Amino acid sequence: MTSNEGVEPFDDTAPDDDAVDGTWDDDTDWDAVAEEWADEIGAEVDRVEILPTVAIVGRPNVGKSTLVNRIIGRREAVVEDVPGVTRDRVSYEALWNGRAFMVQDTGGWEQDAKGMHRSIAQQAEIAMGTADLIVLVCDGTVGITAGDEVVARTLRRSETPVILAVNKVDSDKAELEAAEFWGLGLDQPYALSAAHGRGTGDLLDEIVDRLPSKARMRESDGAPRRVALVGKPNVGKSSLLNKLTGEERSVVDNVAGTTVDPVDSLVELGGKTWRFVDTAGLRRKVNQAYGHEYYASLRTRGAIEAAEVVVLLLDASEPITEQDLRVISMVADAGRALVIAFNKWDLVDEDRRYDLDKEIDRELSKILSWAHRVNISAKTGRAVAKLVPAMEIALDSWDKRIPTGPLNTWMNEVVAATPPPMRGGRLPRIRFCTQATTRPPTFVFFSTGFLEAGYRRFLERRLRETFGFDGSPVRVNVRVKERRQRK
C-alpha cells in the first residue's frame, strides 16, 4: 500500500552539506521542525483525509452519469442512451467553490431483479448506508413515475440529507412543469440540464452547503465498532454470525447465495458491543452479476466501505480462488483493518493442510505479512473466541498514531543504516516525515528526490517492525522537495 501520487515540487535554499548520508543531526528539535513544516503537513493531511461522499441515485437513463461528468468537470462516467449502462458504483473526486468531495455514480439495475420497485429501493438503501448526501435524479421529460415514488418514499425515511434534481429541463417552460416534482415530498426540486449545464451551478451550491464537514465514517466515536463479514457464497458467514449471536439471525442453507440482504446484529463479545453485518457473498465480478446477485455484490462493497474492520472468511477445505483474492484487494483498497478467518477447519485433513500452506505461501504471503489469521469452525465453534482479540489488535493498529519526535528518530536510524538508492548520481535526502492521518495509518515522507517503489515498501516494512500495525494496512506517501541551485 504505497504511493507517490500527488508529489509537489517546491524550492529549498537550505544548506545541503549533511545530505551525503541522507540523515539529520540526532539533536534536532522535532517540535520546532514540525512547526516549520506546518503548512505542508496541513496540506497533506487535507489531501489524504477521507472526503464526504455524494451519491447520485435514480432510475436508469435519467442522466446520472451525465450529471456526474458535469459535476467533476470531465468525461469519466460512461454515458449512453441505453438504460442500465452503469452497473457498478464508481467514485470520483470533485471540487466546487474550494470544497472537495467525492461523487459516487451509482449503477442502474436489472429490471427483472425480483421486481423493479424492489431494485429501486435497494439502490437507494445502498446510498443511505454509505453516503453523506444523496442526490435523487429524475427525468423532467416524463414526469413523476411509480419508480420515482418508490425511491422517494425510501429516501424520506433516511437520516442522510437528500436533494432532488430534475434533469433534462432545457427551457423555461420545462422548468415550470418541473414544479410537479414537489409532489415527491423531498423539498425543493432543482431543475437542470446536465447535458447543457443549465442549473447545475445552483445544485452544486446546495450540495456544498449541505455536506457535513467530515465523512460519515469519521463520526463513530463511542459507537459500537463496525465489523463486516465478507467472503464468497456458502463460506459460512451466516453460520458464524449465528454462532456469535447465539440465535438464528440469518438463513443458513448449503445452497450458495442464501443471504441477499445484509443483516445487522449488535453482539456483546469480550465486554464490548460490536455491530456485525452479515453480507451477501460475492459470487462473481459485479459487472458479471445479474439480479439479486448484482445487488448482493454492491451491498458487500458498501459494507466494506462502511466497516472499520473486515473479517474475511475463506473456506479452508477448498482451494483459494480468484474471488477470494479479489475481496482481499477490495478490503486493502478501502483501507480497512483486516482479519482473515479460515473457516470449516474441522473439514481440513493433513493432506489439505499441506496444500493450503502452499496456497498461502503462493497467494497470500504478502497480505498475511500484516493481516491476522485465525483458523475457525463456525459450525462447531472451534477457536471462534480468537476472533475478538484479533479484531481488537487490528483496530488498535488502525487507530494508532506515532508522535512526530519518535517517528523522525526512527527515520534517522533507518536511513542512516540503509540510505535510499541514488537517482541521476544524487542521493535523495529524506528531510522530514509525519503521520498525516489514521484509519488507516498514512505516513508522508518529505524528500529532496523521488523514492523508488522498492524503498517505499522497505520503509513500510520497517515501520511495521518497529511500531506494529498488525492487522491494518499502512500507506506511505512521498512529497518531493526539489533543491534550488545556489548562486
pLDDT at residue 261, rounded to an integer: 43
Q: Which residue has the higher pLDDT, 300 or 456?
A: 456
- Give the pLDDT confidence of 37-75 residue by residue, as tens digits: 555 555 444 444 567 889 888 887 888 888 988 998 865
Euclidean distance between CA atoms 323 and 298, whole angstroms? 15
Q: Tell me how far apart the terminal alpha carbons of the chain are, to the nearest angstrom.
A: 40
- Does residue 212 carry a pLDDT above 60? yes
Split at pLDDT 50, 70, 90, the class of 267 is confident
Q: Which residue has the higher pLDDT, 320 or 31?
A: 320
Query: Going from the N-terminus, what domains does the chain have, and what CATH number goes with each?
Result: 17-49+401-480 (3.30.300.20), 53-213 (3.40.50.300), 219-394 (3.40.50.300)
Half-sphere exposure of 53 (CA within 13 A, CB side): 23
Q: Dig out the grid coordinates for 262 from the structure.
A: 445484509
Euclidean distance between CA atoms 258 and 237, whole angstroms? 11
- Does residue 482 carry a pLDDT above 80? no
**pTM recorded for the entire structure:** 0.61
Measure the CA angle with vertex 207, ends 205 and 213; round to 5°. 110
Q: What φ, ψ does residue 39 adopt, rounded to 5°?
A: -65, -45
Output the DSSP codes for 429-484: -EEEEEEEETTTTEEEEEESS---HHHHHHHHHHHHHHH--TTS--EEEEEE-PPP
Range with top average pLDDT, 9-13, 47-51, 216-220 = 47-51
- Give the pLDDT confidence of 134-181 residue by residue, as tens digits: 999 999 999 999 888 888 888 888 888 999 999 999 999 999 999 999
SS3 190: strand
- Could you tell me which residues come within 8 angstroms of residue 484 by beta carbon, excluding any fewer than 6 positions away? 11, 12, 13
Output the DSSP codes for 265-323: EEEEETTEEEEEEEPPP--S-GGG--HHHHHHHHHHHHHHHH-SEEEEEEETTS---HH
**Average of pLDDT values for 321-346?**
89
pLDDT at residue 37, rounded to an integer: 53
**Average of pLDDT values for 78-95?**
50
pLDDT, averaged across the chain = 76
Q: Which residue has the higher pLDDT, 283 or 49?
A: 49
